[in-house]
Amino acid sequence: MELLQRPRRLRTSPQIRRLVQENSLSANDLVLPVFIKEGTNISNSIPSMPGFMQLSIDRLDSEIAEIASLGVKNIMLFGIPKEKDSVGSISFDENGFMQKAIRYIKTQLPELIIMVDVCLCEYTSHGHCGVIDDNGKDIDNDKSLPIFAKQAVSYAKAGADIVAPSSMMDGVVLEIRRALDKNDFKNTIILSYSSKYSSAMYGPFRHIAEGAPQFGDRTSYQMDFSNSDEAIKEVELDLNQGADIVMVKPAHTYLDVIYKVKDNFPEVPVAAYHTSGEFAMIKAAAEKSLLDEEKAIMEVTTAIKRAGADIIVSYFTKDIIKLLRQHSEVTNTK
């Protein structure tokens, strides 16, 4: 029987494959996490997060220079304070180290999009994402909300373009939206971690951010990894409360959830967080020569994009941009 269609025709050369490529990555899609440590002269490497540092503001210049030279377009800031208390008070201090870091980075790279994590786990002595109730055993959801609002407003005042509530507290998006609007930050964007799962994929992050819970776990407020329909409910709630962008976290182990969210809300920008554990898995396998690191980075990140993510928070952001640049240089010489 004669073959009228031969799909392999469209795979016969790099040029043809590029012509019909359905999904591609660019620096515009990617967000680089950056970790700010309170203090001076701090540049701490973290063994579980190769290539990432805890940096004090006075040691940010080399990071800023690299971000500029690579053409990184977007960063997300996380803070690590010297001292912690039960309510994370340093996080909403308008003269706090995070607010100073935002202002400093904006003066150096005014076009860079700065996103800031809005949560309490890095700032509280107990390591949970909200304040603890009077019994000292659980999160007090409603008492936590005004603190997140104060955080978000203080970051917006410092110059943050996007605030990113990650606590999974009920009503947090509405509380933040009202506070931002009341303080004349109507154009500050909310990127909500709408579908953040209770996952084993956060271990290295908790090392670098020093935010592991000191008792119990986060299963009472982060989502059960067995569920996907629940993600749609969470996203819808956050959109109704004023979220501009929604997030799925983790990413490459939750491609079905990303797809489901984008399929249900095609008009909404969907972000995905390629977590520290997912990053570490690729790094560890590559170190043992079990896979090609560069190919794995591009394949996995493209899969996240293919599933429906418009924005990808990735610890591989610098690597991806370098690989895209190399590919462009090779293509342009042919």
Q: Taking a C-beta distance cutoff of 8 angstroms, is the pair 245, 270 a contact? A: yes
| Neighbouring-strand partners of residue 249 | 196
Q: Is 8 part of a structural domain of the chain?
A: no
Q: Is 18 part of a structural domain of the chain?
A: no
pLDDT at 200: 93
pLDDT, tens digit, 9 for 90 and up, residues 247-291: 999 999 999 999 999 999 999 999 999 999 999 999 999 999 999
- Once rounded to an integer, what is the mean pLDDT over residues 42-50? 92
Structural domain that includes position 282: 23-333
pLDDT at 331: 55
73 carries an active-site annotation = no
Residue whose entry in the numeric block shows the structure tokens 């956050």: 238
Give the pTM.
Answer: 0.93
Total domains present in the chain: 1
Q: Is 238 part of a structural domain of the chain?
A: yes
Q: Is 187 part of a structural domain of the chain?
A: yes
For the chain, the average pLDDT equals 93
pLDDT at 3: 64
> Residue 243: phi, psi to the nearest 5?
-65, 140
Catalytic residue (choose from 37, 84, 150, 196): 196
Confidence class for position 329, pLDDT limits 50, 70, 90 = low
Query: For residue 288, how many other CB atoms are within 10 A of its CB?
Result: 8
- Once rounded to an integer, what is the mean pLDDT over residues 31-39? 97
Q: Is 15 part of a structural domain of the chain?
A: no
CA atoms of 208 and 8, how far apart (whole Å)? 46
Confidence class for position 242, pLDDT limits 50, 70, 90 = very high
pLDDT at 1: 52
Q: Is 4 part of a structural domain of the chain?
A: no
Using omega within 30 degrees of 0 as the cis cutoff, is the peptide bond preceding 266 cis?
A: no
pLDDT at 129: 80
CA atoms of 306 and 238, how far apart (whole Å)? 24
pLDDT at 206: 86
Report CA torsion sign: 203, 224, 248, 301: positive
Least confident of 56-60, 167-171, 244-248: 167-171
Q: Is 195 part of a structural domain of the chain?
A: yes
CA atoms of 222 and 45, how far apart (whole Å)? 29
Q: Is 14 part of a structural domain of the chain?
A: no
Whether residue 153 has pLDDT greater than 90: yes
CA atoms of 168 and 98, how far apart (whole Å)? 21
Question: Which CATH number goes with the domain that contains 282?
Answer: 3.20.20.70
Whether residue 55 has pLDDT greater than 90: yes
Confidence class for position 171, pLDDT limits 50, 70, 90 = very high
288 carries an active-site annotation = no
Q: What is the 3-state secondary structure (H, E, C) of the chain?
A: CCCCCCHHHHHCCHHHHHHCCCCCCCHHHEEEEEEEECCCCCEEECCCCCCCEEECHHHCHHHHHHHHHHCCCEEEEEEECCCCECCCHHHHCCCCHHHHHHHHHHHHCCCCEEEEEECCCCCECCCCCCCECCCCCCECHHHHHHHHHHHHHHHHHHCCCEEEECCCCCCHHHHHHHHHHHCCCCCCEEEEEEEEECCHHHHHHHHHHCCCCCCCCCCCCCECCCCCHHHHHHHHHHHHHCCCEEEEECCCCCHHHHHHHHHHCCCCCEEEEECHHHHHHHHHHHHCCCCCHHHHHHHHHHHHHHHCCCEEEECCHHHHHHHHHHHHHHHHHC
Catalytic residue (choose from 37, 73, 249, 283): 249
Greater confidence, 310 or 330?
310
